[in-house]
Amino acid sequence: MLLVILVIALVLRLIAINQSLWLDEAISVNIVNALNLKSLILNFSSGDFHPPFFYILLKGWFLLLQRFHFYNISEIFARLPSVFFGVGTVLVTYFIGKKLFDKKTAIIAAILISTAPLHIYYSQEARMYMMSAFFASLSVYFFVCLIDKDSILSWVGFIISTVLMLYCDYLPYFLIPVYILYLFIYRNKIAKSTLRAFVPSFLLIFIFLIPWFIILPKQLNVGLSTVAISPAWAQVVGAPNLKNFLITFVKFTIGRISNDNNLIYALLFVPVGIFVIFLFLLSLFRVSWKRSFLWFWFFGPIFISFVLAFFIPVFAYFRLVFVLGAFYLIWASAINTVNWRPLTRTLLVIALSINLTSTAIYFTNSKFQRENWRSATEYVFQDSTPATIVLFESSFSFAPFDFYNKGRLKAEGALESFNAKQDKVKEKVGALTNGKDKVFLFQYLSSITDPQGLVFQELTRQGFVSTETRDFDGVGFVYEFTRQANY
């Protein structure tokens, strides 16, 4: 049964995996291709708010592919590591469920997380989130083993998996205070020798992280400086407000699908939300001091990251996918609460229906998939002339366009920086369009980088007329400008 579930998990994570790379994925792929390992860790990492482990692994994966003569890195190849980590997380979730409950509950949890829409989505992302979810789940598994009965193997597994987790992403760091709080609350139920052994284990984990703590302050400075320059960017990357807090639980349940009308979206989710709340309440009947750790694991990082986001904007649901294991283990414990097969089957069918319906909508509706830079780039290339330039309302061209363009067309950012001034925009746009008769303008993220539309206005002033507009999923509007004959 477990093998069948893992095969299903793999198949679901391979469906629609060939989507266009979106901004963050393309940055990862382009940087890993362009830089050697030393530059990747010491130079690039200073301006990127993530630890380096994912980039190191991706670099090794690309080198392995090149060794077998796969020199053109496709979307599928770039995402395969996340697919494997996603399937691995399903397996570890099963082991946690078996350790805390029983085989039946573990199987139900594995079925649920294997079909979970948000888990599938980020198992198809060439980013670090599923990698961190895998090592976080592995860390939790060894932690659960230790509070039950410690052993050398469990200690080694806990230390290694936790260190690797902390080198993947920053929000899993919040599992450490969760561990400590849980150990403090249940200190009378855990063997004193085990409690004492956690002190040197956490110290050893800290020692392994010391090399990275040299670079971390630089990352914090860059991140806080960006937020200070552009407050709108903070809203995008993780602002702590009630809407973002509530949407986290919605996304955990139905994945990335949404509706433009917030009222309709909320009303459609109400019956699903009631069912999820019912499962959480029902699961309380099976709570013991060991099983209560699932609630610490699930709610702890969410609340800690929400509070921290008032100082550093880090609160975003996709950074919290490492708690999905706890989310579905709580579901599974509720479904298997009453030893009455008809009720168990009914609850499981409803839970699976939510997962599979949401997943099917994601697979079949491109609106809920990734930014369609591949089509946008091909459109620009096919309609270009030798005197064409592509402009972006930023200070640089965006990574997904660079990935698909491969240097075929000249592409530049039309702004000097955030909060650009009219005279600077005029000067730069004039220089870039000199001798050009056609301009393609991408308005991607323009509400943040150019909210006043200065680039669009300047192109019009300099004699360009918008002749066609195309809208691409996730990318937004692409305007085609042609220079008037008398200019």
Do residue 57 and residue 108 come from a single domain?
Answer: yes
Q: Where a domain ends, among 368, 394, 415?
A: 368
Q: Where a domain ends, among 352, 368, 384?
A: 368
Do residue 439 and residue 420 come from a single domain?
Answer: yes
At 263 the pLDDT is 81
Distances from the Cα of 72 to the Cα of 30, 68, 76, 251, 443, angstroms: 12, 11, 11, 34, 29
How many whole angstroms separate alpha carbon 413 and alpha carbon 432?
9
Domain membership of residue 476 as a residue range: 373-483
CATH number of the domain within which 389 lies: 3.40.190
At 178 the pLDDT is 98
CA angle 232, 308, 284 (to 5 degrees): 120
Do residue 423 and residue 284 come from a single domain?
Answer: no
Q: Roughly what angle, to the nearest 10 degrees, separates helices 192-213 and 129-148?
A: 160
Mean pLDDT (10-residue bins), the chain, 487 residues: 97 96 95 91 84 94 89 90 98 98 96 98 97 98 95 97 96 97 96 95 96 84 66 64 90 90 84 96 95 97 94 89 98 92 94 97 94 96 91 92 93 84 89 92 89 91 92 95 79
How many whole angstroms separate alpha carbon 460 and alpha carbon 467?
12
Do residue 268 and residue 405 come from a single domain?
Answer: no
In which residue are the tokens 């991607």 written?
444
Domain count, the chain: 2
List of residues 6+ apart from 387 with CB closer than 8 A: 435, 436, 437, 438
Q: Where a domain ends, among 320, 347, 368?
A: 368
At 225 the pLDDT is 67
**φ, ψ (nearest 5 deg) of residue 343:** -70, -45
At 44 the pLDDT is 87
Do residue 273 and residue 320 come from a single domain?
Answer: yes
Do residue 227 and residue 95 come from a single domain?
Answer: yes
How many whole angstroms separate alpha carbon 259 and alpha carbon 286?
36
Do residue 436 and residue 421 come from a single domain?
Answer: yes
**DSSP notation for 341-386:** HHHHHHHHHHHHHHHHHHHHHHHH-GGGS---HHHHHHHHHHT--T
Do residue 329 and residue 456 come from a single domain?
Answer: no
**What sign results for the dihedral spanned by CA atoms 65, 69, 74, 77?**
negative
Do residue 362 and residue 340 come from a single domain?
Answer: yes
Do residue 119 and residue 172 come from a single domain?
Answer: yes
In which residue are the tokens 């979730």 written?
93
At 227 the pLDDT is 62
User: Which of 144, 176, 194 has its CA nearest to residue 326?
Assistant: 144
User: Which of 50, 51, 53, 74 has its CA nearest to residue 62?
Assistant: 74
Rounded to two decimals, what is the model's pTM?
A: 0.94
How many whole angstroms separate alpha carbon 42 and alpha carbon 36?
10
Do residue 140 and residue 92 come from a single domain?
Answer: yes
Do residue 322 and residue 173 come from a single domain?
Answer: yes
At 128 the pLDDT is 96
